Amino acid sequence: MLFPLYLAYKLNVATGTVPTFITASSDSGRTENIDEELVKTLQGFHNGNKTVNGIKLHYVEGGKGEPLFLLPGWPETWYEYRKVMPELAKYYHVYSIDIRGMGSSDKPTTGYDKKTMASDIYALMNELGYKNIYIAGHDIGSTVAYAFAANYPHATKKLAMLDISHPDDNMLKIPLVAPPGSYDVSNPARAKFPWWWAFNNVPNLPEQLLQGKNLDIAYNWAYDYLSYDKPALNPQEKAIYIAAYAKPDALRAANDWFRAFRQDIDDFNTYKKLSVPVLGIYGSTGISDLGPFLKENTMNPKVVELKRTGHWIPEEQPEEIIKQFKEFFR
């Protein structure tokens, strides 16, 4: 069976040179695998794949101890936790997971509501032989992690959420017009306006507009806009992520995370208040309402605001994340 041409990525880890993109067809059997290159930079970690709920989930695992599942967000992959994984692996068996539609995991045409995506993680947990886990998520991964705890409290030892809450009725109150100063790039403390939540919701159009060079423009803008006072990601790191979203099915799947928000809100309204221990961490200049959300929907959460920090918390503040996770999960 033939597959379309897609962008593959080759990173020269040894020299640190600017990465190059190549085209390859997956039926050739000779496609460069970015994950195989990236995992070489993390001593003691390796790639894994499991088929659950009829789809393949890819993850990178390493370490010993109780299981800690890390769920990434848009528009990144498992690689966003690279700066915290080695240290956390000294205390936990760490799994950084490409959620449904992300990276090297499958990208089906359905199942992007967070309740279904949480069931993927629950099935993966069972497939790996665990009865319960520590779980943490960032951005879209945070919404999935919350849905996991809401639907499988018996399987949730503790939950950590980074910067983004689960969609709820407050999402319906976001204004159409950005508040003053939202796009003042000279002010690192500016409030951010998540206009792409609506844009990515539009059927088909984002995929048509963002193919090719436009994807680079849009995603590079987002990486810089959601940082604090300087880009949180260097050009090589941005290129790694952009390559992961360059295929049409990858871009469609990522946008489907947003298109499911209406269903996510409806599902949220059926959930009980969480009783599991919860840690919430958000950046002072991110797009988060995480603090008020957790105080209303969980019992006795620990909420941490990181000053001078944007949205990319595991990459902007890795030492703080390691510290907070070690204190909370232990």
- Cβ contact 160:328 at 8 Å: yes
Cα 232 to Cα 8: distance, rounded to the nearest angstrom: 23
User: Cα 138 to chain center, whole Å?
Assistant: 5
- Cβ contact 151:178 at 8 Å: no
Helix (H, G, I), strand (E, B) or coil at 81: helix
- Say what angle helices 140-151 and 114-127 make with each other, to 10 degrees: 70
Cα 209 to Cα 59: distance, rounded to the nearest angstrom: 30
Structure pTM? 0.91
Beta-bridged to residue 138, according to DSSP, are: 162
Amino acid at 263: Q
pLDDT at 189 (0 to 100): 87
Model confidence band, residue 6 (pLDDT cutoffs 50, 70, 90): very low
Q: For the chain, first and last CA: distance in Å?
A: 48
- Residue in 12, 61, 62, 60 with CA at minimum distance from that of residue 32: 12
| pLDDT tens track for 42-55 | 999 999 999 999 99
- Cβ contact 280:266 at 8 Å: no
- Say what angle helices 114-127 and 261-268 make with each other, to 10 degrees: 80
Counting Cα atoms < 13 Å in the Cβ hemisphere of 52 gives 25
Residue 78 token pair = 């498992």
Q: Where are the chain's structural domains?
A: 6-329
Model confidence band, residue 285 (pLDDT cutoffs 50, 70, 90): confident
Average pLDDT, stretch 136-144? 98
Phi, psi of 88 (to 5 degrees): -65, -30
Among 24-28, 90-94, 200-204, 217-221, which is the least confidently predicted range?
Answer: 24-28
Average pLDDT, stretch 199-204? 96
Average pLDDT, stretch 130-140? 98
Q: What is the largest CA-CA distance in the chain?
A: 54
Residue 257 token pair = 């995370």
pLDDT at 230 (0 to 100): 84
Given the structure tokens 């209303």, which residue do they identify? Answer: 296
pLDDT at 191 (0 to 100): 86
Cα 152 to Cα 52: distance, rounded to the nearest angstrom: 16
Average pLDDT for the chain = 90
pLDDT at 33 (0 to 100): 78
Model confidence band, residue 110 (pLDDT cutoffs 50, 70, 90): very high
CATH assignment, 6-329:
3.40.50.1820
